[in-house]
Structure 1
Amino acid sequence: MRPEVVQVADGTRLAACVWDAAGPPRGSVVVGGAMGVPQDFYAPFARWLAQRGWRVTTFDYRGSGQSRPASGSLRGFHADLFDWTRDYAAVIDHAQAALPHRSLYLLGHSLGAQLPGLLANQHKVDGLLSVAAGSGYWRQNAPALRRVVLIFWFLLVPIATRLCGYFPGRRLRVVGDLPAGVVLQWRRWCLNPRYSVGAEGEAVRRRYASARFPVRALSIEDDELMTDPGIRSLLALYENAPSEIERIVPRQFGIARLGHFGAFRREREADFWPLLAQWLGRFEQAQAR
């Protein structure tokens, strides 16, 4: 692994890490992280995947993880989800430039599979493996979450963000620290039945509709955040992308629990990570036909 700095067109500098492939690279994989989850969380999986022939890039969106401002404070830090999409696009450009004649796939966890529909450089993406990613609309959250999510959106988020100038999720033990623009835009999305497309309008609908890369979505039975209806709603936004859903029942793989985050935890190295690698390989096989 080596740390790298990726510069976005607006001058923002992002912290990224690259794991070079063991042997001749099969292609590139860019890992798009979930909301509030630092790239370090994905490091064990990225290292493991690189050992199987992939060049893997992880990164932190601006204002998060190692891409926080030098002061460490997010008070007054300006960023929204469109900025995070531009960050994602810059990392894709960086990865594609390193291996210009190889395929590039996205492995998107939660938010990391929502933002690709907004990318300006979708033509550089050869496939999206979507893990535990749904629309986020609150009525499609899991039942246990629906009982508390309106308190989160109508009380906790607006009050805490106004008081602190950012969302202090780490202190509240919810999601993680988020720039005010990110969390308030995310709030609008999650309160709209059509999520990002409903909240942002026709320009965003057209951007999702322009996606042509194949999407394979993993719907995890015991995901406490994303339900199967939410996953189907997200795929519906990618209206012109060939897509399919793979329903994951953990016990069928001898796994007691996966949940929203379990797919990338180190204890899944022996049983679930080979399946993720297999699903990435299916993109390769489809391209070879």
Structure 2
Amino acid sequence: MIYDTRHNTRQTVLADDGRALPITTFEPEGEPRGVVLVVPAMATPSSFYSSFAAHLAARGRRAVTFDYRGTGSPAEMKAETADVDRWFADVRAILDVVADDAGDLPVTWIGHSLGGQMVPFVDHTRLASIITVTAGDGYWRRNQPGVRWLAPVMWRVIAPLAMRVAGYYPGRRLNLLGDVPSGAMRQWSRWCLHPEYLQVDHPEAPALFAEVKAPMMSLSFTDDELMSAESIQHLHDWYSSADIVRQRYTPAQLDGRHLGHHGFFRSAHADLWDELLEPWLAG
């Protein structure tokens, strides 16, 4: 089924500090049977998820995408003062608007990487289901072996020097992650250097994670170049009160396809969106 982009709408959500936050809604042709909020990975623009959101809409669900504030041009990144906590607060406001607009429709949260970490910091009681994709904690010693040796150098040397020169973290030019505003990168670096990750700034995090009770599915892949099985398990163990189904796939189980950290959301793998996600989408 081909999705008609004329059904897309753009609106703004007002953050608690008055910032207007743009969101894009992909509406199905008929009445939606559910709503999906797509919460992006670090340094990943909302446009990356457009094909995925259109696919969801073509199958009868309203899908909403957005960018973290400060995501855009180098000039926008240089001017941005937000850290990751600010992003958490923004997403809280976005979810509230999406859930209000949903009315009686069930809302599914699909959190890619960082998007799977922030559920405890929003009003998760408004969620009917939660899906995390390649979401683990970011502590460097739990990274995949291929990047583990680089991580301390990245956080302690490369990122600080790059931000001092560029005024933001120019990950695309360095071919190390993507572009990130300096405030968010500094806080994320601090988390990634701490054994309990975001608990360095949020000692209350274990209690917040334990409050999440919506049914959850964790989707991950053995060829993820960033997140190890240990990292993914460590994060999801914090969701101690949620009923979690953990699904982890090898390339051999996916007809030899290598999905890595981002590949699941590429349109070449659209057949997997129905096969792996449909049973876990509310509505």
The answer to whether the aligner puts 1:116 opposite 2:119 as a matched pair is yes
1:76: how far off?
Answer: 4.5
| Residue equivalent to 1:219 | 220
Bigger drift between 141-150 and 249-258 goes to 249-258
Q: Alignment partner for residue 8 of structure 1, among 15, 24, 42?
A: 15
The answer on 1:258 being equivalent to 2:265 is no
Counterpart in the other structure of 2:206: 205
- How far apart, in 2, do the equivalents of 1:107 and 1:279 lie? 13
Show the 5 A alignment for 1:58-69. Answer: 58-65=65-72
Structure 2: runs of 5 or more not aligned: 1-7
What SS is found at the alignment partner of 2:120? helix
d(CA) in 2 for partners of 1:155, 1:218: 32
Assess if the C-alpha contact under 8 Å between 1:74 and 1:179 holds in 2.
yes
Match of 1:157 among 156, 159, 167: 159
Q: Which amino acid aligns with 2:18?
A: G
Instruction: Write the letter of the residue equivalent to 1:114.
Output: Q
The one-letter code sitting in structure 1 at the alignment partner of 2:232 is: I
Which of 183, 197, 222 aligns to 1:181? It is 183
- Distance (Å, rounded) in 1 between the aligned partners of 2:15 and 2:79: 20
Q: 1:202 aligns to what SS in structure 2?
A: coil
> Which is further off, 171-180 or 150-159?
171-180
Residues 154 and 279 (structure 1), Cα distance of their counterparts in 2 relative to 1, 3 Å cut: farther
Sequence identity (%): 36
Question: Once the two structures are superposed, what CA deviation does each residue of 1:99-133 show, in whole Å capped at 9, x if it has no partner?
Answer: 111111111110111111222x1211222100011
Q: Are 1:103 and 2:103 an aligned pair?
A: no
Deviation at 1:203, TM superposition (A): 2.4
Q: What TM-score do the two structures reach when normalised by structure 1?
A: 0.90
- Is 1:38 the counterpart of 2:45? The answer is yes
The residue that corresponds to 1:137 in the other structure is 139
Between 1:141-150 and 1:245-254, the stretch displaced more is 245-254
CA contact (8 A) 2:92 2:121 kept: no
* Secondary structure in 2 matching 1:90: helix
Counterpart residue type for residue 16 of structure 1: I
Residue of structure 2 in register with 1:277 after alignment = 277
Q: 1-side partners of 2:134 and 2:202: how far apart?
A: 25
Kindly state the Cα deviation for residue 192 of structure 1 after the two structures are TM-superposed.
1.3
Instruction: Report the equivalent of 2:232.
Output: 231
Runs of 4+ in structure 1 over 6 Å off = none
Residue 22 of structure 1 contacts residue 54 of structure 1 at CA under 8 Å; is this kept in 2? no
- Tell me, in whole angstroms, the C-alpha distance in 1 between the residues paired with 2:85 and 2:22: 18
* Contact 2:152-2:193 within 8 A present in 1 as well: no
Cα distance in 2 for partners of 1:276, 1:59 equals: 23
Displacement of 1:150: 1.5
Letter in 2 for 1:93: D
Given residue 36 of structure 1, which amino acid in structure 2 is its aligned partner?
A: A
Structure 1: which amino acid aligns with 2:90? D
The 2-side partners of 1:124 and 1:208 are apart by 15
CA RMSD of aligned residues (A): 1.7
